[in-house]
Amino acid sequence: MLSYAIKRISRSWKLFAALALGMTLAATFFGGLNVAADTVGKQALDAQLVNTPVDVNLYPGYTGIYYPVGPYQASSYYNVTNAVKGIDGVTAAESTATAYSYNSSYPGIRVIQDNSLLYAHMTLVGGRKTLQANETLINVDSYQAQDFPINSSVLYRISAYSNGSRTITYNVTLKVVGTVALDTVAQNTLGIGFSYFSCPTPSVCINRTTAKEQSIFIASWQQTFAPIIDWVYSQYQSQTQNQTKIVCFGICFPSSISTSVNVYLDRNRLISPFGVENSISQVQQVEARVSIAAAEYGFRSADNLLSQLQGFSQEIFALRLQFTIVSIPVFFLSWYVGRTVSQSSFNLRRKEIGILLTRGFTRGQLFKHFLTEGLMVGIVAGVAGVLLAYGLNPTFIWALGGASGGGAFLTSDAVIVTLVFAVILTFFSIFSPARQAAAMDPAQALKEYVYLEETRPRRKRGAIVAFSLGLYQLVLLFLGINYQNIGRSVFGANFFLALILIVAAVLSFVLTYIGPFLFLYGAAQLSTGLAQRFHRGFASLFRKIIGEISVLASRSVFRNPRRVAALVFIVALIVGYSVWVIGDLASQQDYNYRQAEVQNGSDLHLSGINSIANATRIASNITSWSNVTGATPETDFPANTPFGYLQIKAIDPSTWRQGAYYESGWFSGDIDSVFSTLGSDNQTIILDHGIASYYSIPIGSRFTISYSYTTGTGTLVSGRANVTVVGFFGPDYSRSSGPFSYFQPEGWSFVPLRLLNQNVSKIDAPSFVLARVASGVSLDQITQSLQRDYPSLSVSAAQVSVGGVPGIISAGGQNVLRLGTAFAGLASSIGVGTVAYTGYREREKEITMIAVRGLSYRQLLGLLITEFLPLVIFSLILGTIVGLVVIWGDAQGQNSLNQGYLAILAARRIIFPQWALLNIFGIIALLLAGVLLPAILAARKDLSKMNRTVRFA
């Protein structure tokens, strides 16, 4: 049976090509995700461990036991270092220390050994790097580097201990002999601080560039610090012998001095991103031996590595799990296409099946033979999928959010899992069609390619249930119904209503992902009549091209409604899936970008300016830059009004729209007229729309505002003004569910700068500058240029930041879906082409008879295209509608949640940028190619073959 299967596949490979291609695409996608997950996991682990340069720290004293322990001699550190170095799995160990001056204005000291690994992470900028006794280096470009030039001397006083009445210090004169630049490893190891700014939301981050390194002195352990350690030890021993009380707790060691031993493990041998659990076990064993050795010398160990590995293990598992879940639609479509392709191929092998049954094959043997063929195809597809996944690894790495470059990591686990996946998917794709083929009547099978019309009644109960559930979910999405918001008002009011709501919410959650697919499946099964009417209408349009014979197209294709339903479902599913995934991704990217812009105020935000005059001057200067399209000054302050406190933005109406980020729908009425009035009349205001709606304030109303702000010199400036409302800004959030149980003003109102002072140059309010950059300009580069020209200012850029493994998980899922649409589109194209090709082959004699009766090539081609093209167009319309409804529902669902003012102001919307349209049109082109290519091949008839076909007809 195996040899016959091999011969059958090799001799009739065209029958198996479609199934093999479909399974290969699925295996490539599955294998690519696994290979890329391993590669990205390696990159993520390396990036995460960069911030953990030291694996284990050893500290003097015992863990958890608080009794006085005197200072250790320098020899104790040498002994424990040498002992730890001899442990298998440890690559290096070195003593280090930190000391601070009694005068806190001096930089702290970081002490390293003469042969320290950190020297490889220091770049000499000036002077020399080799240190002698009482010599030091200082890190360049740090806060105080300019205060301690090369060859300068510093009298450094280190607090040694306190005897209760006074503090004893150790005095040393340090000479600066060089300046060095520290890389990330050195900065993290030496504990150098920076000024960091947190991200306002997980997906949006405002990048600050004003952070500078903390200044440190770098001294030698052997040459400079060992004598200090021994002196402290001797002082302690002397005071103890003289029975003088030394004030201390726990380890009796000066608070201004901290010592430790840095232990570095053999990470390359112990840690593998492809087996994190095993890596954790190996690291635990090595660290246990380190802890035992350290305890013999009175040191305790502190782990820095295991917690990182344990957290990474959970994150990489979540990465694989989520990417597998979001890929299920692609695998489902591949299975359905494989099943359809198998049905079509078995339909073309009816004569073979009939001969085998009449020659003594039992139905069980025939069924096993078909499964053997399928398993062999699955193995071939799995091998091809592994090779393609390895070759396409850069594409999958991009999808998962990893960095390009470097080699791919193809592990044996990934190969085995991909092969097993391909075989299982092929098995399930071929199982049902193979069983149906084995049960075929031999008499009917021997009729070869005589077309068999479907006469069995079709069961519609399952289709009706699927259609109803899918329609229910689509209605919820279209109306933007969110059970989370409904529950706030229902829970606690009526128990039975709350119970019904819980059931409905659970059902809606389950249908969130499968509801659209259920609707498409039910619609494809139940819409045969509608599709037939659409087909006839389309055929009537083709009547001018191919004549009255176009009516044959509708009659031919609808002889088998099951095949029509399968074709409609395949096309509608891939189109709806593609529109949904690509549209959702484009919508989310647009939302993240707009949120970053709104939070930052514009592309660039320059703060730290003490007056409007300086802000205006800076804005005027950077406006002249070729890569800046506009800049404007602004100052913000709260103002007291009869309606409570308002957040006021004082702006320059003539330049604000050129420098700030805004959307046209944010301002009511004619924006040009509103800003013209704001510029000509100083006593005007553009009022927050939420306040105006809640208090019913119309345009033209006047009220008084009282404001105050603190100048750069600390002077409090206050004032009052009667303002006239000339327009409204922002959404009307007065009746929306917000974070407060009562109405709370959250929006912005705008006044002209001259309201504060007729002479704008005399306004000393803390100000900032907003600037817009030209399209295609790198925000990072222009931020660095601004920071270089204005070093005293803080410059932030509106950029969406997604980093690390959590960032990959949040953003990578959408990219995997987007990449999956390409593979699903190819698989669907193969399925559509196979269905069309099978239909043409089954009716080969009929098509030949029509051709020899005088039908031209154009008419024959038009007839064949008309059979399947209307169904594809009908499916495109159906799938597009469903995809758009799902995108609309996702956007409305996110916007209906309780959110802050900025999320309401720049709410999520449906948008299809150029790249999204190109992706969707590319998938549609693949589907159309699946119809056109088989039709072109079937219409090109060779005269000799036609004569032979007619003769045997």
- Using alpha carbons, list the distances in angstroms from residue 764 to 555, 634, 660, 760: 83, 12, 21, 9
Q: Could you tell me if 759 and 614 are in contact, meaning their C-beta atoms sit under 8 angstroms apart?
A: no
Whether 622 shows a pLDDT value over 60: the answer reads yes
pLDDT recorded at residue 110: 93
Whether 226 shows a pLDDT value over 70: the answer reads yes
- Tens of pLDDT, residue by residue over 770-789, are 999 998 888 888 988 898 88
Q: Could you tell me if 902 and 801 are in contact, meaning their C-beta atoms sit under 8 angstroms apart?
A: no
What is the distance, to the nearest Å, from the Cα of residue 15 to the centroid of all Cα atoms in its chain?
41
Q: Could you tell me if 445 and 348 are in contact, meaning their C-beta atoms sit under 8 angstroms apart?
A: no
Q: Could you tell me if 173 and 109 are in contact, meaning their C-beta atoms sit under 8 angstroms apart?
A: no
| pLDDT interval class at 792 (50, 70, 90) | confident
Q: Could you tell me if 633 and 657 are in contact, meaning their C-beta atoms sit under 8 angstroms apart?
A: no
Q: What is the token pair recorded at 227?
A: 């004598």
Amino acid at 788: R
Return d(Cα 398, Cα 854) in angstroms, integer.
55
Q: Which of 85-89, 244-248, 510-514 has the lowest mean pLDDT?
A: 244-248
Check residues 920 and 397 and name the one with the higher pLDDT. 920
Return d(Cα 680, Cα 322) in angstroms, integer.
57
Amino acid at 914: Q
Return d(Cα 629, Cα 797) in angstroms, integer.
15
pLDDT recorded at residue 423: 92
Q: What percent of the chain has pLDDT over 70?
A: 80
Whether 84 shows a pLDDT value over 60: the answer reads yes
- Tens of pLDDT, residue by residue over 540-572, are 776 666 666 666 666 676 667 777 777 888 888
Return d(Cα 284, Cα 264) in angstroms, integer.
14
Amino acid at 289: R
pLDDT recorded at residue 120: 92
| pLDDT interval class at 754 (50, 70, 90) | confident
Q: What is the token pair recorded at 614?
A: 């300086």
Identity of the highest mean pLDDT range in 70-84, 446-460, 540-554, 711-725: 70-84
- Tens of pLDDT, residue by residue over 389-399, are 878 777 766 66
Closest CA to 582 of 875, 893, 814, 926: 814
Closest CA to 377 of 631, 14, 877: 14
* H-type alpha helices, 717-762: none
Q: Could you tell me if 706 and 718 are in contact, meaning their C-beta atoms sit under 8 angstroms apart?
A: yes
Whether 458 shows a pLDDT value over 60: the answer reads no
pLDDT recorded at residue 111: 94
pLDDT recorded at residue 163: 55
Amino acid at 171: N
Question: Strand 716-729 to strand 684-688: parallel, antiparallel, or no bridges (unpaired)?
Answer: parallel
Amino acid at 582: I
pLDDT recorded at residue 486: 65
Residue 222 DSSP class: I
Return d(Cα 434, Cα 425) in angstroms, integer.
14
Where is 724: in which H helix or E strand? Answer: strand 716-729
Q: Could you tell me if 777 and 728 are in contact, meaning their C-beta atoms sit under 8 angstroms apart?
A: no
| pLDDT interval class at 79 (50, 70, 90) | very high
Closest CA to 552 of 854, 866, 843: 866
pLDDT recorded at residue 294: 92
Whether 409 shows a pLDDT value over 70: the answer reads no
Q: Which of 142-151, 376-385, 386-395 has the lowest mean pLDDT?
A: 386-395
pLDDT recorded at residue 394: 73
- Tens of pLDDT, residue by residue over 152-185, are 999 988 876 655 556 677 888 999 999 999 988 8
| pLDDT interval class at 65 (50, 70, 90) | very low
- Tens of pLDDT, residue by residue over 243-290, are 554 444 334 555 678 889 999 999 888 887 777 788 889 999 999 999
Check residues 343 and 690 and name the one with the higher pLDDT. 690
Q: What is the token pair recorded at 64?
A: 């958890």
Contacts of 551 (CB under 8 A, 6+ apart): 536, 539
Return d(Cα 286, Cα 15) in angstroms, integer.
58
- Using alpha carbons, list the distances in angstroms from residue 549 to 170, 358, 543, 864, 935: 107, 40, 8, 11, 16
Whether 952 shows a pLDDT value over 50: the answer reads no
Contacts of 672 (CB under 8 A, 6+ apart): none
- Angle subtended by helix axes 393-400 and 363-391, to nearest 10: 80
Question: Strand 748-752 to strand 644-651: parallel, antiparallel, or no bridges (unpaired)?
Answer: parallel
Label residue 602 exposed, middle or buried (CB < 10 Å: 0-12, 13-18, 19+).
buried
- Residue 350's CB is within 10 A of a number of other CB atoms, namely 22
How many CA atoms within 13 Å lie on the side-chain side of 223? Answer: 15
Q: Could you tell me if 173 and 152 are in contact, meaning their C-beta atoms sit under 8 angstroms apart?
A: no
Return d(Cα 207, Cα 802) in angstroms, integer.
12
pLDDT recorded at residue 702: 93
Return d(Cα 827, Cα 871) in angstroms, integer.
18
